[in-house]
Structure 1
Amino acid sequence: MFITDTTNRQELLSRFCPDGLNYWRAVELEFNRPWYIVRVQIQLEDAQQVDAEASITSTVLIADVEDVLNLFNSGAKSQKVKGVSALIPEDLSQSNGWVLEQISAIWASEMPTGKQDGFKKTYFLETECGNRYPVNPMEEVEYESARMTLLQRLTS
């Protein structure tokens, strides 16, 4: 999740937004876990009579992998996900700071919770560089030992 602070609201540009929308100079991350930069190609319906290929590409920042998956499964013909990058925190990437990587696949595994008939879905990211990360840094599941199900293969 992203946290907004009214002191970071961009006053001038926000005046031109529809009700309920604002421009922000900065947002804070709720937790140090991966967050996603998603490029979405949107088909322009009004322009289709003139040019069937008319579209724009929008960039969306998303805090949860399930919301990324929902973009692929929305069924909307007017939008297509063009690419997903993940900003990986330093404790997962084992680097000296956050690392930006292109995502090539999203995997899931059902892990027992320890309660009777209880299972929890755990997500993993696979990058184009071959790195693999749990979406939740608190998960102590080894990627290689978990039974994985491919949820989404991404193309660039």
Structure 2
Amino acid sequence: MFLSLPQYEFQMPAGLNVPGGKHWRVVEMTLHAPWYLLTVEQADTGNLDWATSRTLCIAWETDLADAIKSIEASRIRGLVAMIPAWASPTGQWSSRQINEVWLDSSEAGKFVTLLDAAGKKLEAGILIEPPKAGPSGELLLRLNGGSRALRPRSAGSGRTRRRSSHAK
């Protein structure tokens, strides 16, 4: 989904780069489908009073769910869905703040449900049929105003709730 080319690589100073990391000034969108910006607080280990954030650009909803499961919920600062022109009311790329992420799993696979600040289900993805088996889903993330997770949890844990209550 994201394409980077060697001429756009940015050489970071050795002390600022992460091992194996590469930085890019430009990336191209090769597939016009929704993608996600997940902002996470990253504490400065040398100064406990100061923290920075990092933002992950994630192309697939299942990768988004996996990323959320691997991060302590209280460190997540925000989640934005980037909506392509073909699925946006403006006819241009647009964005929506996401406040809840649910994961449903069955033998058919995984299905991610995203709810915005108004509790409305995001309907901008490539249409796939959600798994039929299982009446409940796992709440992976709930943000308060899109800025802070309300519930602490360890990676991989979650609550369940009836599917009908989050399929708005």
Give TM-score scaled by structure 2 length.
Answer: 0.64
Whether the aligned pair in 2 keeps the contact of 1:104 and 1:154 (CA below 8 Å) is: yes
Matched position secondary structure for 1:95: coil
Please report how far the alpha carbon of residue 54 of structure 1 lies from its aligned counterpart in structure 2 after TM superposition.
2.4
Change (3 A) 1:35 1:107: same
Whether the aligned pair in 1 keeps the contact of 2:69 and 2:140 (CA below 8 Å) is: no
- Size of the aligned set, in residue pairs, is 138
Give the aligned CA root-mean-square deviation in angstroms. Answer: 3.1
Please report how far the alpha carbon of residue 37 of structure 1 lies from its aligned counterpart in structure 2 after TM superposition.
1.4
Question: What corresponds to 2:9 in structure 1?
Answer: 9
**Amino acid corresponding to residue 107 of structure 1 in structure 2:** W
Whole-angstrom distance in 2 between the partners of 1:139 and 1:94: 21
Q: Determine what percentage of the aligned residue pairs are the same residue.
A: 25
Change (3 A) 1:105 1:148: farther
Question: What corresponds to 2:62 in structure 1?
Answer: 66
Whole-angstrom distance in 2 between the partners of 1:140 and 1:71: 22
Whole-angstrom distance in 1 between the partners of 2:9 and 2:117: 35
Whole-angstrom distance in 2 between the partners of 1:92 and 1:104: 20
> 1:47-98 CA deviation, whole Å, 9 max, x = no partner?
23xxxx3211222222233343344332659x71111111011333343111
User: Do structure 1's residue 46 and structure 2's residue 53 form an aligned pair?
Assistant: no
Question: What corresponds to 1:115 in structure 2?
Answer: none
Counterparts of residues 119-134 of structure 1 (less than 5 Å) = 119-134=108-123
Change (3 A) 1:29 1:131: farther
User: Do structure 1's residue 105 and structure 2's residue 94 form an aligned pair?
Assistant: no
Whole-angstrom distance in 1 between the partners of 2:118 and 2:9: 36
**Amino acid corresponding to residue 40 of structure 2 in structure 1:** V
> 1:1-54 CA deviation, whole Å, 9 max, x = no partner?
4221123223xxx15254633332221224222211122111222223xxxx32
Whole-angstrom distance in 1 between the partners of 2:55 and 2:61: 16
Whether the aligned pair in 2 keeps the contact of 1:33 and 1:136 (CA below 8 Å) is: yes
Q: Which runs of 5+ in 2 are unaligned?
A: 148-168
